[in-house]
Structure 1
Amino acid sequence: MSTLTPEEGFLLDVLHWHAYAWTGPAEDREPGEHAPGQEGDYWLRRPASVIRATFTTPEAAEAWMRAEAAAYPAELEADSAHSLLYLRQFLHDEPYRTPSLFYRDRFERLVRRYLVPCPRPAVSHYPKHKPPPCPLGRGRA
């Protein structure tokens, strides 16, 4: 017997992940950013033009994140290893979490990578909060 609400069941049927990436000087933040930005709603409110890729399977999303970590090696391997360790679990078992990488690479640049699940469900403890719509118009919000 399923424990999903009808809304959660529908959302899982159309679930996809938007990939966001930023790499820049360690003393800079991403343009226009005021906070670390690990909340998925923050990214979904950004223009669709900043989406690097969109994935419909957790395996494809995981492959992108691992490829990005390999392309931009961390200054200290442990900086990215922890996030990568839990990546598969987040994508499969906790699909509404936003897996992220945030570390300094070997060239002392900040590397930020996010896989934002979309559409996002309403959060019951914030009854007036409406999740943002998909920036690409997929599914429903």
Structure 2
Amino acid sequence: MQHDDEPRHDHSAAVTQHWHAYSYTGRSYSDGLIRRGEVPSNYPPIEIKNWLTRPADHVMNTFHDVEKAMTWLEEELSQNPHVEEALFPLADRLQYSRDTLDQTAGNDVVHGYYSKAQQYISRALIACPREGFPICPYGIA
């Protein structure tokens, strides 16, 4: 796993807003299977905030900067073209994502779709820390 700042986290400093990047590529599963825990451990949770309850080794990257987060997202989505790319152009999805991250601290960006390769693609930038949810994969929130 990579992080845009070194050291990974300074436990003595106040935790600043950052985003954890998560990734899943594979088949999709029903909500019932997800609720029963009958899915791969890296499969997207039903509630977005629950990404943060996952082990730290599920974090693909951590970003403190919108530009770096957007670079990661663009690379990930470019590698997995949407099955309906003409209806959901990458440029539009990226602009919406950027606008969301730029709006205010604490916003998440989650993309879930089927690729042209017929795989379910999930890419998520999950805001941390978040109000009312004191969990961080690195235990520092």
TM-score w.r.t. length of structure 1: 0.72
Residue 83 of structure 1 is matched in structure 2 by 93
Going from structure 1 to structure 2, the CA distance change for 1:80 and 1:49 (only over 3 Å counts) comes to farther
**Residue 48 (1) aligns with residue 56 (2):** yes
SS at match of 2:106: coil
Quote how far apart the aligned CAs of 1:37 are. Answer: 3.0
Residue 96 of structure 1 is matched in structure 2 by 106
SS at match of 1:14: coil
CA distance, structure 2, for counterparts of residue 95 and residue 68 of structure 1: 23
Output the amino acid matched with 2:61.
A
Residue 122 of structure 2 is matched in structure 1 by 112
CA distance, structure 2, for counterparts of residue 61 and residue 35 of structure 1: 19
Aligned residues: 119
Residue 5 of structure 2 is matched in structure 1 by none
Task: For structure 2, list consecutive stretches of 5 or more residues without a partner in the other structure.
Answer: 1-13
Task: For structure 1, list consecutive stretches of 5 or more residues without a partner in the other structure.
Answer: 1-10, 123-130
Root-mean-square deviation (CA, aligned residues, Å) is 2.6
Residue 31 of structure 1 is matched in structure 2 by 40
SS at match of 2:40: coil
Q: Verify the 8 A CA contact 1:19 1:52 in the aligned structure 2.
A: yes
Going from structure 1 to structure 2, the CA distance change for 1:25 and 1:72 (only over 3 Å counts) comes to same
Going from structure 1 to structure 2, the CA distance change for 1:71 and 1:38 (only over 3 Å counts) comes to farther
CA distance, structure 1, for counterparts of residue 58 and residue 44 of structure 2: 17
CA distance, structure 1, for counterparts of residue 60 and residue 43 of structure 2: 21
Which is richer in helix? Answer: 1
> Which contiguous aligned blocks of 4+ residues in structure 1 show a shift greater than 6 angstroms?
none
CA distance, structure 2, for counterparts of residue 84 and residue 107 of structure 1: 20
TM-score w.r.t. length of structure 2: 0.72
